[in-house]
Chain A
Amino acid sequence: MCAAQALSFRLPDFLRTAAFRSALVGAACFVAATLLLFALIGWQAGQSLMQRRDSLLEQEAAAIAREPASGVGADIARRYARDLHRITFAALFTRDGRLEAGDMVAPPVLAADGMAHHTTVQRLLEGGETAKIDVRAASLRLRDGRLVVVARGTAELDELHQVISQALQIGLIPGILLALVAGTVASLRAMARVAAINRSIARIMQGDFSGRLPSSGTSDTLDQLAASVNRMLGEIERLMAEVKGVGDNIAHDLRTPLSRLRSRLEGARLRAREPPEFRAVIDRSIEDLDQTLGVITALLRIGELESGRRRAGFGSVSLDALLREAADLYAPLAEERGITMHVSPGPPQDVQADRDLLFEAVVNLLDNAVKFAPAGGWVRLSAEPGPAIRVADSGPGIAANEREAVLKRFYRADPSRHIEGSGLGLSLVVAILRLHGFSLAMRNTDIGFAIDINCSAG
């Protein structure tokens, strides 16, 4: 029910856009500024009009007062009979406040100082009626005690204000309408662009990851936003392709041992007769499964490293000790394979790292080097300036065009396909180095191949 009510109160979409709202705010500012301007003009004009009228009233009052005492009444009658509009009027009151000439019922409340003031008077109209009128009036007391009052209605001033407010309305209404129209147009245009963007997004969400947001070509805010969203989409598309590649590789690498396993089990089911035969098959099957599980474990470890959760183990690591230990670990294996192992741990120096992880990375590289160096060859583990850790061997190395690819998960340079391993060793190294902010560089040398771990973070 509530939802239905909310819907019924919903404004049309174009009224709710930011463009329309800012048009409204603009219109409101315009109205406020105009009102202020007109108020100022009205006030200024009124002031100046009033001052002029006031000085006229004061002069007239003074002029009347200068007449000989006997002629004052006649003067007033003469003066104002001419005024057809009867805007200005006057009266002469006796000392005791009785009307002697003119058309005011009673003397107004007014200082008799000859200056114009605001007040109200009861005016006698033709036919004996009276009307209460707002006036500016000046009064003077004659020498004989009589009171002269000259007044002028403020209707003129009101008229002025009326004219100004009419002008205001005539100016303001089109202004507001114009602002509303402009706001609506801007709003509709913005909505059309948002709708276009929404259509693009809908297509992308349906799986067309090559789709991009449209741009109006004006590099306005919306275009800039669309451009950065497009960059993000490009990155997502690239990652998706990579993940898909990785997914395919994982599936392939898991399927290979599993299909071997399957056919071996099936063969045993068909042909094996004696328990020792079964046992042999089961042993081989367990090996296949372990290989499969090893792949999964390695993937999980890389995932753990890549999520960057592990930073707790960081500390000062003695590089020379680490190299010596790694060399000690691999010396027997190298010896067994007829490979000479050299180690130059360099002077004592520390790097900031997670010792276990850095050691694992070095061991992984060393493992590869010992695997790939030909019998009778050599492997050299050394500290280099930087500081860097170099693992060099007399093996064939990795072709320049394959170096990028070997760092990806599951890639194995073809010549080494016969060598065991999950193909995840280098990916693991890369994940570890990335966690440290270290970098990896490899190059073929005249005498073999070298991989450097550059331990200067950044």
Chain B
Amino acid sequence: MQASQRSPDTVSKRVLVVEDDETLAAEIALVLGDGGHAVTSLGDGRTALEASSAEPFDLLVVDRMLPGLDGLSLVEHLRERQVHTPVLVISALGAVDERVRGLKAGGDDYLTKPFALVELAARVEALLRRPQDTRQTVFRFGPLVMDLVSRTVMRDGADIDLLPREFQLLEYLMRRPGQLVTRAMLLQDVWQYRFVPKTNLIDVHIGKLRRKIDAGGDTSLIVSVRGTGFVFSPP
């Protein structure tokens, strides 16, 4: 077991990483530790089941293939014990059916190995900061206002004409201000695609959206994070 340092500026959460590959487990612990979370690492399913039933964790990162008790059975047992801690399943099994199986077992998200550590960190953040109030119908960030009921977006009082997909994309970003949203997350959640197109389609779509909402300002409301994704960052 190892706990990383807490950084003072973010809300620290308790994350349990269940992964038997020690190198990968250590890297995950470090990157999540950098994000300000207290990370506990365990290498086998049975110990992890006891630990996660006994202690209150905010999130579990669970590998599917584990000694003792496999990852999916671990999640199923937890759900049977009425433990509803969000679970991010990581697995080398990337087939679509496997992903569906992972989510059915009670996982909240499924990430296929090999993955970028930033991708993992972004997904962990997304699970930890799930949009709380889904009844909110108006988002207002600086000059930008989105009304979910009238399906309109305005900047400085002027209507912005968005295609349905662009609206969905912007809504997804505005619900997660300041949070890194990866391309894979957008494909999965906005487009609901299970595959990754070869070209940088997402960047092109974001670029188009940016041109519509930024209105020629110097700094964009949607900031690109090199090689990873985007952050909606209101001024």
Residues of A within 8 A of B (CB): 283, 286-287, 290, 293, 297, 300-301, 304, 309-310, 312-313, 328-330, 332-333, 335-336, 356, 359-360, 363-364, 367, 370-371, 420-422, 425
Contact = CB atoms under 8 A, between A and B. Distances in A.
B199 A367 contact: yes
B97 A328 contact: no
Given A287-B227, A301-B94, A360-B195, 10 more contacts: A286-B227, A297-B94, A301-B95, A329-B197, A329-B201, A332-B201, A333-B204, A356-B193, A367-B198, A420-B198
Contacts of A336: 204, 207
Contact of B201 (A290, A300, A333, A425): A333
B194 interface: yes
Given A304-B95, A332-B205, A283 B227 contact: yes
A287 B116 CA distance: 11
Interface in B151-200: 163, 165, 191, 193-195, 197-199
A328 B193 CA distance: 14
B197 A367 contact: yes
Contact of B114 (A293, A329, A422): A293
A360 B114 CA distance: 22
A328 B165 contact: yes
B11 interface: no
B194 A356 contact: yes
Contacts of B199: 333, 367, 370-371
Interface string B100-144: 000000000000001010000000000000000000000000000
6 contacts: A313-B96, A328-B165, A329-B201, A333-B201, A336-B204, A367-B199
Interface residues of B, number: 21
User: At the interface, is chain A mostly helix, strand, loop or mixed?
Assistant: helix
Contacts of B205: 332
Interface of B: 94-97, 114, 116, 163, 165, 191, 193-195, 197-199, 201, 204-205, 207-208, 227
Contact of A425 (B96, B193, B198): B198
Given A328-B165, A332-B208, A360-B195, A312 B114 contact: no
A304 B194 CA distance: 14
Contact of A332 (B95, B97, B204): B204
- The 4 tightest CB contacts between A and B, nearest first, are A332-B204, A333-B204, A332-B208, A360-B195
A312 B97 contact: yes
A332 B194 CA distance: 20
